[in-house]
Amino acid sequence: MTDYLPLFPLELVVFPGEKLNLHIFEPRYKQLIREVEHNKTTFGIPAFINKVIQPIGTELRLLSIEKKYDNGELDIKTLGVGVFKTEEFYSTTPNKLYPGADIKRLTLQDDSDLILNEKILTQVEKLFQLLKIDKKTPKSPSRFRIFDIAHYIGLDIDQEYALLTIPSELERQQFVHAHLQRLIPTVKNMEESKKRAKMNGHFKHLKPPKF
């Protein structure tokens, strides 16, 4: 069984649980948001990658309209509430300006591994330290899920989309753990190279070895 969902394709990946602020200026999406507000319904953001609307997207709930401009533009706050798969895409909804789709909502498995979460937290802290990112990491390995940190660990849009398509939390953990294992040594080497480059041209005060 499928449900109809109005769509707002964007060149980004939205994760369940993510709060997303948007400025709405196109007539078709101004219409979409007005109807979502009036009917108290949800809408979907499928990722638009390499000029293709991807089949997996995130369903969002409108939290608030923060500002309405005189020209009809809107500032809104939304929350990702789930993941869906597009079964049939419509470039325009009948009698509407915006696109839509018949979709199936997907179930996400919460089968996380606490020990693996601890390893990932340690990796993220190390990455932030190397990059000098002043951002707090989750305090408890039992209190966060991979989607909570996915935008902050150096994934490109294709990798973020791949992560969104994984239904199992354990598999998402394994995906991120492997990514960080590859990324951190690369970042470390880059930072060391920068330090060496900064030293070039300076008088060096080095202690000769004893022999």
pLDDT digits (tens, 9 = 90+) for 118-169: 999 999 999 999 988 888 887 777 788 999 999 999 999 999 999 999 999 9
- Residue range 3-106 forms a domain whose CATH class is mainly beta
Q: Specify whether the CB–CB gap between 61 and 45 falls below 8 A.
A: no
pLDDT 10s digits, 85-116:
999 999 988 899 999 999 999 999 999 999 99
114-199 shares the fold of 3-106: no
Cα–Cα dist 41/91, whole Å:
20
* Residue 46 and residue 83 in contact, taking contact as beta carbons nearer than 8 Å: no
Largest CA distance in the chain: 87
User: DSSP letter at 152?
Assistant: G
Task: Show me where the domains of the chain are located.
Answer: 3-106, 114-199
Confidence (pLDDT) at 131: 86
How many DSSP H helices and E strands does the chain contain? 5, 6
CATH annotation of 114-199: 1.20.58
Q: DSSP letter at 108?
A: P
